Structure 1
Amino acid sequence: FLDKLLQTKKALAPADWTERSVVEFTATGKPATWFCHALTGHEWLLRLVFRVPKNSFNEDELNSSLDIPTLNNTEGLEIYGNESRVRVGNLKKSPWQQITILVHRLSEIQNDEFKSFIDSATAAHLDHIKRLSLKPEDLMPWKLHGDKWHLGEKGFPIGKKLYWDRNILQDILDCAGKSGKNLEIQWDNRDCVTFRVKGVTHSWMMVKTKGNEFLEVRLSGPSGKVNLDMAKGIGFEQELIEHRNEMDVIVLKFRKPEDFSLPKLSDFFKEHLGHFIKMKSEN
C-alpha cells in the first residue's frame, strides 16, 4: 500500500528493496537523501520513519488526525504500551524533523487522513531538497539562526576548554552596534560577526566568536590615524597589524568583563569608526 501510494509522487524515486529489513524511498536527482524508511524487522509492527523540514508538523495535531490507537488499545497484539504510536521530533544538528509511525494493521493507514499526511510530508521534503540542491549552505545553523548561533554554546572546538566568558560577547556587539549610523551587521558566517558601513565594500569590524581561548575583535582603519594608544586599557592584549594598502588592523582580545569598561569601549569604537568613515569618503 505504502509503495503504491508513494509511486504516485513523480518526484520520488522507485523504492529501494535491497536491504534486508529496510525499504528506502528517496527523492530523484541530487542530493540523494531519503524521505521514508520502512523498517520491517519487527514481528508485530511496521516502523515508518519520515524526514521533513524542522517544525513542519506538531505531534499532538498529527496524533489527533491519524487517530492510531495505542498498543494497549489494539486487539490481537502480544506487546503492550500506552505511548503514542505517532512521534514527532526535530533532530539536533540537522535541518530535519523526524516523524515515526508504528503500524500494525493496514486499516490504520489506509484512510484519507494518512494520505493527506503523505501529501503534506512529501511536498515539504521535496521543497527542502530543492533548496538544499540550490544552496546547501543556506541550511547551516549560522545561516538560519545567525545571532542565536553566535551567541549560543555550539560551534566551539570539540573537546577544548572555553577560557572566556560568553556573556561579554553580547555587551561588545551591542556597544559596537551603537557606534554610528548606517552600520550593518552580518551574522551569516560560521565563526565571526561582521560590521559594515552601508555602501562601503570593506568591513569595519569583525568579531571572531568561536575561538576557545579568547574573544577576538579586529578593526580596520587608516594607516597613521589609528594606533594602539586609542585602545589602551581595552582587552587583555592589543596588537597593531600594518598593511600596505593604507589600512591597518587593531586586534583586541578579551576573556572577562574586567578586560574593558563599556564607556571606554564605546568611545574607542566611535572614534575608530569616525576615522574609517572619513577615509572611505575621501577615497
Structure 2
Amino acid sequence: GTIATFDVKAAAARRSTDVTVEQLGKAAQLPWEQDGPRWHLQDRIAHTGQPCRWEGMALKFVLDLLGKQKALAEPNWNHRSTVEVKGQTGSGWFLHARTGGEWLLALCFRVKKNTFESDSLDQQLGLLPLDERDDIQAYGRDPRVKVRNLKTPWQEVTVKVWNREEIDNTAFRQFLQTAVDGFLKQSQQERANPDDLMPWKQLGRKWHLMRKSLPKNGRIGWQFELLEKLLPMVESALPDSTADYTIRSKINWARQSDSVHVAELHTKRADGVDLVLLCAHDSITVGAIAGFGTEQDIRRHRDGRDAVRIRFTTAKQCEQKGLKEFLRETGKTLADRG
C-alpha cells in the first residue's frame, strides 16, 4: 500500500479551533475571580504567603449584617485581598475588608467626618491588643481600632478582627449601624451639593497657599512664597471683616457689621498676586500706593467705590516701607465706612 507522508505545512496550518497561549491565559480565572466568597472566606493566602489565621466566619458575619441594609450594594469579591461594599448610588465605597493579613482581618469603613472618636470607639468595642491575647500567636501593642479624619468630608475607621466571637455583640452591631448611617448621610449630602467636594471648599485657607490650580502648569511670573507673607498681613489689617477662603482663585473679605465686600486677594493669577481694596471714592490716590508692589492702579468699581489694586511679585515686596502701616490704616477705614 501507499505510505502516507507527514505534511509539515498542513500540520502547522492554523485551525479555527486553535487557542493561543495569550487566549489561554485570559480564559483561566484566578481563584478570587472563579469563586470570590470561597477564596476570601476559606482559601485566602496572606501577603506573607502563609495561610490566613483569622476566622473567615468573622467576615461572613459582618457581610451578612450589611446585607440587611437596603441602601448598600452586594459585596464585590473580585479582588485578591479586598472585599468591597459600596452604596447603591454613587459616593464610592463604604467598606474595604482587607483579607490579606495573616493574623487579623482589617475592616476599613468610610463614614462622615467626626462620626467616631478613636479612644471612645476602642473602649466601646473592647478589642484587646495582641499582646494581651494569649490565644493569638502574634504580638503587638497597637490598638485594633483606628479613626482618622481625612482632608475631605470623610473619616476612615479601621477595626482589626481575629474571630466572629469578639464582634458578635451589641456594641459592634451598634457601631456598624452608626457607621452605615454616617456613610449614607455624607453620601446624600454630596449628591445634593456636589460643589462642596471641590478642594478649595474642603481646604479653605490652605488651598490658597498651595501651588495647585496655578496657570501655565505652575510656571508663574512671581515668587509663590510671597503669599505666606502677604496673606497674614492682609488678615491682620482686616480684623473686623470675615474672610471667605472657599473661592477657587481668590479670597474675599466682607465687613462683619453689614456683610459689605471690602477686599479681595487674587492668589491664582499668572503674573502676580493682586490685592484689591474697595475704598470710598477719591479717598486714596495713586501716589499713596506708588511705592508698593510692582504695579498699582485705581479704577471705579461698579458700586461707585474705588477698587485700589496693588500687584505683588516677590516676597521682599511684602517688607516695603510703609506697606504694613498703609494696610492697617486702610483696614480701619474699611471697617468704618468702606
Same fold (TM over 0.5): yes
CA shift for structure 1 position 80? 1.4
Change over 3 Å in CA distance of 1:105–1:6 after alignment to 2: same
C-alpha displacement at 1:13, in angstroms?
1.1
**Cα displacement string for residues 52-95 of structure 1 (whole angstroms, at most 9, x for unaligned residues):** 1222211111111111122122244332112211112223x333
Determine the C-alpha separation between the residues in 2 that align with 1:253 and 1:107: 66
**Match of 2:184?**
126
Measured after TM superposition, the shift of residue 145 of structure 1 is 6.2
Tell me the distance in 1 between the aligned counterparts of 2:259 and 2:234: 23
Gap change, CA 1:176 and 1:86, over 3 Å in 2: closer
Q: Quick one: which amino acid aligns to residue 137 of structure 1? A: D
Q: 1:81 aligns with which of 124, 140, 152?
A: 140
Q: CA RMSD in A?
A: 3.5
Q: Which amino acid aligns with 1:72?
A: D
1:135 to 193, 206, 213: 193
* Secondary structure of 2:165 counterpart: helix
Hey, what does 2:224 align to over in structure 1?
Answer: 162
Compute the TM-score of the two structures, normalised by the length of structure 2.
0.65
Q: Does 1:263 align with 2:325?
A: yes
Alignment of structure 1 residues 1-283 onto 2, 5 Å: 1-31=61-91, 33-91=92-150, 93-140=151-198, 142-143=200-201, 146=204, 148-149=205-206, 153-154=209-210, 162-164=224-226, 166-176=228-238, 178=240, 185-196=243-254, 198=258, 204-209=262-267, 215-219=273-277, 228-233=286-291, 235-240=292-297, 249-254=307-312, 255-256=315-316, 257-259=318-320, 260-268=322-330
List alignment gaps of at least 5 residues for structure 1.
Answer: 278-283
Deviation of 1:6 after TM superposition, in Å, equals 0.5
* 1:99 CA drift (Å): 1.2
Bigger mean CA offset, 251-260 vs 215-224: 215-224
Deviations 1:190-226, CA, capped at 9 Å, x for gaps: 34211357587xx553212467986420246799887
Aligned partners of 2:237, 2:136: CA distance in 1, in Å? 64
In the alignment, the residues of structure 1 paired with residue 259 and residue 206 of structure 2 have an alpha-carbon distance, to the nearest angstrom, of 26
Gaps of 5+ in 2: 1-60
Q: Which amino acid aligns with 2:263?
A: M
Tell me by how many angstroms 1:244 deviates.
Answer: 11
The answer to whether the 8 A contact 1:13-1:27 is kept is: yes
Residue 251 of structure 1, CA deviation: 2.6
2:50 maps to which residue?
A: none
**What is the alpha-carbon distance in structure 2 between the residues aligned to residue 64 and residue 273 of structure 1?**
50
Q: Any idea what SS the aligned residue of 1:51 has?
A: strand
Instruction: Supply the distance in 2 between the matched residues of 1:199 and 1:72 (Cα, whole angstroms).
Output: 58
Identity across the alignment (%): 29
Matched-pair contact (CA < 8 Å) for 1:226–1:272: no
Measured in 2, the distance between the counterparts of 1:142 and 1:186 equals: 11
**Separation in structure 2 between the aligned mates of residue 193 and residue 125 of structure 1, nearest angstrom:** 31
Taking structure 1 as reference, are residues 225 and 265 closer, same or farther at Cα in structure 2, changes over 3 Å only?
A: closer
* Structure 1 residues 210 and 159: CA distance shift in structure 2, 3 A: closer
2: CA distance between counterparts of 1:90 and 1:272?
38
Q: C-alpha deviations, 1:251-279, integer Å up to 9, x for none?
A: 313434422433333445677899x96xx
- CA distance in 1: counterparts of 2:140 and 2:281, whole angstroms: 72
- The code of the aligned residue for 2:294 comes to E
Give 1:174's aligned amino acid: S
